[in-house]
Amino acid sequence: DNNKHQWYYEGRNGWWKYEERSNADLEAAFTSGVSECLLLLAGTIYCVDFQNMVQIRRSDPTKLRRVKRDIPTFPSKGIAGIKRLD
Ligand code: V3L
């Protein structure tokens, strides 16, 4: 089931949800057992490393964020940089 889990990346003081397409790609890759997943986000390539649970910018590996896989109701800042309205 692809809607039981949500992937999150770390922001300054909380977690952002990945947008739907990236979330589906991450979930498919993770459940297939591969060690990483490449994402193209607004023209920038990122690698999500499932061993270390980090997202790394390919062109600058110092740009690293923690990622997590959790339930969809885990508190988040919003989706892919779009702030949650509350
Ligand atoms: N999905 C969407 N945008 C991303 C992602 C992603 N998985 N990864 C990086 N970016 P870096 P606060 C984030 C954006 O890691 O206030 C948030 O989505 C990233 O956006 O250095 O710190 C917010 O829009 C950043 O703008 O390669 O919580 C913004 O940061 C840019 O790519 C501020 O969030 C460079 O990220």
Give the Cα separation of 28 and 83 in Å (integer). Answer: 26
pTM given for the model: 0.97
**What pLDDT band is residue 1 in, cutting at 50, 70 and 90?**
low
Residue located nearest, by CA, to atom 16 of ligand 1: 12
Pocket-forming residues, ligand 1, beta carbon under 6 Å: 9, 11-12, 16, 18, 41, 57, 63, 65, 77, 80-81
Distance (angstroms) between ligand 1 centre and the Cα of 81 equals 6
**What pLDDT band is residue 3 in, cutting at 50, 70 and 90?**
confident
Per-residue pLDDT tens digits for 15-38: 999 999 999 999 999 999 999 999
